[in-house]
Amino acid sequence: LIVASYDQQFSLEANVKGLYSNSRCEYVVNLRPEHGDIKFSQNLKRNVKKAEKNGAILEESADRLLADRLHELLNSTLEKRKSKYGTEYNPYYLPRLGKQTVLNLLENKLGRFYFCTTTGDDSMHCVLFNIERDGKVFNLLVGSDEVAYELGMPAFADCKLIEKYRNSGFKYYNLGGATWDAGSGGLERSKLSKGADRIDVYGVTSNFLQYPFRLLNPLLNMVRVLRKKK
């Protein structure tokens, strides 16, 4: 049994016999007017200005074809992070999440694509897929190429989206969580630079419930103990 928490704004750590608590974090930008001004970092503002100076444009779309471009850019991001940090990971980080999942969300009007180009260049250098529902936004996936990173497009895209969502009356924009690998620190700082607050959320796991997998339970318990010691 695995219970994970995504976009759960209020979360309590479970204390139930037979269940083992775990934690993760998410970075959420509060868009409510009573929260006050959103505090962007100076570095973020510099990147936004750089993107604007180079003619960056943010557009939105419900075109299914963007799923292919997003897939390409997710792999581009993977290669960049792998060369920089030496860490392999799955760009589609949730079970059963993939290109078809994105298309299903798009078809049911639960998500939308946003992409960055530059003036005079139709190439999509940065593509985001956001789930938008009941005044809440969750950044499910984002991929960028080398041009996007050089011009500050990821910062530009999120900054413009934060402004758009706030002006449209949305409650919050969830930028997602940490990766817990070598590059996680930089990713977390990037999300904090966009005015996000860190929110700790909790989930639980159990041991295997059926034979023959139950034979692996002592190994599972050993892994849990080792993780606590880190």
Task: Map tokens 């059926």 to a residue.
Answer: 210
Q: What is the pLDDT of residue 9?
A: 75
Give the pLDDT band (50/70/90) at residue 151.
very high
| Entry pTM | 0.89
Give the mean pLDDT of the chain: 93
Question: Which residues fall within 8 angstroms of residue 172, CB to CB, at 6 or more apart?
Answer: 9, 28, 29, 30, 31, 32, 136, 137
Q: Work out the percent of the chain whose per-residue pLDDT is above 90.
A: 71
pLDDT in tens, 90-141: 999 988 999 999 999 999 999 999 999 999 898 999 999 999 999 999 999 9
Give the pLDDT band (50/70/90) at residue 230.
low
Q: Where are the beta strands (DSSP E) in the chain?
A: 2-3, 20-30, 56-61, 111-118, 121-133, 136-144, 172-177, 197-205
Distance between start and end Cα atoms, the chain: 24
Mean pLDDT along residues 202-211: 90
What domains sit in the chain, N to C, each tagged with a CATH number?
2-229 (3.40.630.30)
- Is 22:202 a contact under the CB 8 Å cutoff? yes
Q: What is the pLDDT of residue 186?
A: 84
Q: Which two tokens stand for residue 124?
A: 């999509």
d(CA 156, CA 193): 12
